[in-house]
Amino acid sequence: MSVVDRQEWDVVVVGAGGAGLRAAVEARERGARTAVICKSLFGKAHTVMAEGGIAASMGNVNSGDNWQVHFRDTMRGGKFLNQWRMAELHAQEAPQRVWELETWGALFDRTKDGRISQRNFGGHEYPRLAHVGDRTGLELIRTLQQKIVSLQQEDFRETGDHESRLKVFQECTVTRVLQEDRKVSGVFGYERESGRFFVLQAPSVVIATGGIGKSFKVTSNSWEYTGDGHALALLAGAPLLNMEFVQFHPTGMVWPPSVKGILVTESVRGDGGVLRNSEGRRFMFDYVPDVFKEKYAESEAEGDRWYDDPDHNRRPPELLPRDEVARAINAEVKEGRGSARRRLPRRVDPDARRGDQAPAALDVPPVQGAGGRGHHGGGDGGRADLPLRDGRHRRRLRHRRRPRGAGTVRGR
């Protein structure tokens, strides 16, 4: 007979990425005894692979930015299919979350006058992405991990036990959300190393397990993203919504095989990188939807001027929302204008150069090492041609919940 270890907690958080750890911190600070379940090692969640930054309308680089503009950009980018209240809350509260992370020790890049730096990203009218080089997700997890440890140290000083109020269960997999009388009562799972079963009883369960990236052959996601959380929610009776909304990041590397699926961060385009097909043409000007034409440049010259004078020029179409850029890349490849270089899969290239400017890729270390003719490649110092293809990145599908995150399956 298998022995099942049982423990009682106030809150169980399934998932230890950025969302899961932040939920655990909030629960613990509100007095709840909180358990966090990691599918892998603590600090190894997929969040560490996020590169670009955190969208927050702080207005540090352009004072014209505010939460209303951020909200408008979000709704427009989502074709107005968004749950508007969630989009509104995100736009309103994002700056507070960034400042909170800084208070907890996150080391964001700075502007010359010492404020948190913000960079351009697709679909954002103003520079909005607070960032830490190209490793923003890693810094976010480091900061939240340290916050968890600091709370455990506080508990040790008060109770003599680091894990009396906040405990992390590493390398564990949850297979069911338990219910009593159709109300959530905890989770059932097992330790991967020993195979030991366990039950964590709790009246509240937070599912923060990430996406479904490993359902696809090529993905930027880590191995943990297998859709466990969606299955847990569905089996517990929560309806799943928006299953068709799977985001494909426009610029994922395809060559050499060792880097296949790794993202070329959007900041490369935000800092001046452009997309060219096998004919050497900047094809994105052919793919600007009518709803965006008012905001995007009609010519290469205007798009290039925007980097130095954004108040009197429109942004280049390489900075359209990700879904638009990904569809354009896919269309070019299907039309036969992907790269035909020998032994390379079909793809398009981001030429990290506009005019005679220095390559924008120089500030992005993974790009430096992979570009055959980039800064470290020994060739033309003004170019960094990289083979790219759109790749599975994030999921927009979710189980139904209220704007503040409460689910539809009641707890005890």
User: What letter does residue 273 receive in the DSSP assignment?
Assistant: -
For 166, counting Cβ atoms within 10 Å of its Cβ (0-12 exposed, 13-18 middle, 19+ buried), the class is buried
Domain-embedded: residue 404: no
Q: What's the number of domains the chain is made of?
A: 2
Look up the CATH number of the domain holding residue 281: 3.90.700.10
Residue type, 358: A
Average pLDDT over residues 53-74: 94
Residue 218 predicted with pLDDT over 70: yes
- Give me the residues paired with residue 166 across strands: 34
- If asked whether residues 234 and 314 sit together in one domain, one would say no
Instruction: Find how far residue 371's CA is from the centre of its chain.
Output: 24
Per the CB < 8 A criterion, the answer to whether 104 and 162 are in contact is no
- Residue-wise pLDDT for 140-191, tens only, equals 999 999 999 999 999 999 999 999 999 999 999 999 999 999 899 999 999 9
- If asked whether residues 151 and 272 sit together in one domain, one would say no
Q: How many angstroms separate the CA atoms of 197 and 378, rounded?
A: 55
At residue 51, the pLDDT reads 79
At residue 308, the pLDDT reads 85
At residue 250, the pLDDT reads 81
Residue type, 243: M
pTM across the whole model: 0.77
Q: How many angstroms separate the CA atoms of 342 and 387, rounded?
A: 12
pLDDT bracket for residue 347 (50, 70, 90)? very low
Which of 18-27, 43-52, 229-238, 317-326 is predicted least confidently? Answer: 43-52
DSSP string, 170-225: -SEEEEEEEEETTEEEEEEEEETTT--EEEEE-SEEEE-----GGGSSSBSS-TT-
At residue 247, the pLDDT reads 81
Q: Report which of residues 382 and 123 the model is more confident about.
A: 123
Residue 59 predicted with pLDDT over 50: yes
Could you give the residue numbers annotated as active site?
A: 249, 269
DSSP string, 69-110: HHHHHHHHHTTT-S-HHHHHHHHHHHHHHHHHHHHTT----B
Per the CB < 8 A criterion, the answer to whether 227 and 392 are in contact is no
Helix (H, G, I), strand (E, B) or coil at 401: strand
Kindly report the average pLDDT of the chain as a whole number: 82
* CB burial string 49-87: b at 16+ within 10 A, e below: bbbbbbbbbbbbbbeebebebbbebbbbbbeeebbeebb
Q: Report which of residues 405 and 302 the model is more confident about.
A: 302
pLDDT bracket for residue 279 (50, 70, 90)? confident
Average pLDDT over residues 241-260: 79
Q: Report which of residues 106 and 354 the model is more confident about.
A: 106
Domain-embedded: residue 410: no
Query: Over pLDDT 90: what percentage of the chain?
Result: 45
- If asked whether residues 283 and 316 sit together in one domain, one would say yes
Which of 203-212, 218-227, 343-352 is predicted least confidently? Answer: 343-352
- If asked whether residues 157 and 253 sit together in one domain, one would say no
At residue 356, the pLDDT reads 46
Provide the CB-side half-sphere exposure for 224 (13 A, CA).
27
Query: Over pLDDT 70: what percentage of the chain?
Result: 82
Per the CB < 8 A criterion, the answer to whether 58 and 117 are in contact is no
Q: How many angstroms separate the CA atoms of 338 and 344, rounded?
A: 10
At residue 383, the pLDDT reads 41
Tokens of 47: 């969040």
Q: CA nearest 323: which of 412, 222, 394, 239?
A: 394
Angle formed at CA 37 by CA 411 and CA 13, multiple of 5 degrees: 30
User: For residue 163, what are the domain limits?
Assistant: 4-242+395-399
- If asked whether residues 224 and 360 sit together in one domain, one would say no
CB atoms within 10 A of CB 44: 17
Residue 293 predicted with pLDDT over 50: yes
Tokens of 111: 């502007």
At residue 380, the pLDDT reads 34
Element (H, E) at 45: none
Average pLDDT over residues 101-110: 95
Q: How many angstroms separate the CA atoms of 330 and 261, rounded?
A: 15
- If asked whether residues 258 and 124 sit together in one domain, one would say no
Domain-embedded: residue 409: no
At residue 345, the pLDDT reads 39
Domain-embedded: residue 54: yes
- If asked whether residues 168 and 227 sit together in one domain, one would say yes
Q: Report which of residues 250 and 370 the model is more confident about.
A: 250
Residue type, 298: E
pLDDT bracket for residue 129 (50, 70, 90)? very high
At residue 363, the pLDDT reads 38
Which of 1-5, 77-81, 365-369 is predicted least confidently? Answer: 365-369
* CB burial string 337-354: b at 16+ within 10 A, e below: bbbeeeeeebbbbbbbbb
- If asked whether residues 285 and 190 sit together in one domain, one would say no
- If asked whether residues 255 and 158 sit together in one domain, one would say no
- If asked whether residues 166 and 287 sit together in one domain, one would say no
- If asked whether residues 218 and 299 sit together in one domain, one would say no
At residue 291, the pLDDT reads 85
At residue 207, the pLDDT reads 95
pLDDT bracket for residue 354 (50, 70, 90)? low
Domain-embedded: residue 406: no
Look up the CATH number of the domain holding residue 93: 3.50.50.60
- If asked whether residues 305 and 193 sit together in one domain, one would say no
Domain-embedded: residue 280: yes
At residue 400, the pLDDT reads 55
Most distant CA atoms of the chain, gap in Å: 74
Domain-embedded: residue 114: yes
Q: Report which of residues 391 and 293 the model is more confident about.
A: 293
